[in-house]
């Protein structure tokens, strides 16, 4: 166990969409959110409850040495919404990464640093 005041997992979700049908439009971001959990088991349950059996692909980040690091998942699915009796359909990709946060609040010397 760590000596940190804060020790939790943060799930960052960036939701993107692209209209179905013949369109030149690419994917656009329409929402971002963060959720916090105490355990990795709670993170897994959240992802299972939210995305169930959606197609998912690995998400990577390029490292300075040219290698790539697996940092999360992209969940891909069709979505729709009714608006005044008419349905709108789109392809959705949710970019999800999980971060383990271990932090300590630092206040000593803060007043001096801010002045």
* Cα-Cα-Cα-Cα dihedral sign, residues 64, 67, 71, 74: positive
Q: What integer pLDDT is reported at residue 109 of this predicted model?
A: 63
Res 103: pLDDT: 86
- Strand 6-19 and strand 28-37: pairing? antiparallel
Average of per-residue pLDDT values in the chain: 90
User: What's the pLDDT band for 37 if we cut at 50, 70, 90?
Assistant: very high
The pLDDT of residue 1 is above 50:
no
Task: Note the pLDDT tens digit of each residue in 58-71.
Answer: 999 999 999 999 99
d(C-alpha 103, C-alpha 84), whole Å = 48
pLDDT of residue 108 exceeding 70: no
Q: Is the pTM of this model over 0.75?
A: yes
Q: Where are the domains of the chain?
A: 6-114
Specify the pLDDT at position 111. Answer: 64
Residue with tokens 């990577």: 60
Two structure tokens written together for 105: 């609040």
């Amino acid at each position: 166990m760590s000596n940190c005041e804060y020790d939790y997992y943060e799930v960052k979700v960036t939701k993107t969409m692209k209209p179905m049908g013949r369109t030149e439009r690419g994917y656009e971001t329409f929402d971002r959110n963060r959720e916090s959990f105490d355990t990795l088991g709670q993170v897994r349950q959240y992802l299972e409850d939210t995305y169930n059996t959606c197609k998912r692909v690995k998400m990577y980040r390029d490292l300075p040495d040219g290698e790539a690091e697996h940092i999360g998942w992209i969940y891909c699915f069709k979505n729709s919404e009714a608006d005044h009796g008419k349905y709108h359909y789109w392809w959705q990709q949710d970019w999800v990464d999980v971060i383990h946060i271990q932090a300590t609040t630092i206040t000593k010397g803060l007043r001096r640093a801010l002045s």
